[in-house]
Amino acid sequence: MYKIIHQYYLYILTNKKNGTLYIGVSNDLERRMFEHKNKLIDGFTKRYGLDKLIYFETYQYINDAIKREKNMKKWKRQWKIDLIIKDNPNWNDLSSNWFKK
């Protein structure tokens, strides 16, 4: 018998280095980034051009990802920046080569 392991993602987007930050959760990060990059969903990310994936975490359980998202949204901006810089000091778009241009 096989056990299916689901993955959920907490992610942070921006429009430029030290720009506006957006924190979200998805069960399919590649699909979600495609939606962000192609401006397919109206709202905050489309309005501010937030389509650069600069940080993400992986979770087995959706409740853990949502709990982390809610907690992180309460953080001071500098704490979020420090977290990003720790793993991605140049704020590179981690999804830049996921899709054909």
Q: What is the pLDDT of residue 100?
A: 75
Query: What is the domain partition of the chain in residue ranges?
Result: 8-18+28-87
Contact 10, 65 (CB under 8 A): yes
Calpha distance 52→54 (Å, rounded): 6
Confidence class for position 5, pLDDT limits 50, 70, 90: confident
Give the number of C-alpha atoms closer than 13 A to the C-alpha of residue 37, restricted to the C-beta side. 17
- pTM for this model (two decimals): 0.92
Q: What is the pLDDT of residue 101?
A: 60
Contact 99, 51 (CB under 8 A): no
Q: pLDDT (tens digit, 9 = 90+) per residue, 22-78?
A: 999 999 999 999 999 999 989 999 999 999 999 999 999 999 999 999 999 999 999
Calpha distance 38→63 (Å, rounded): 28
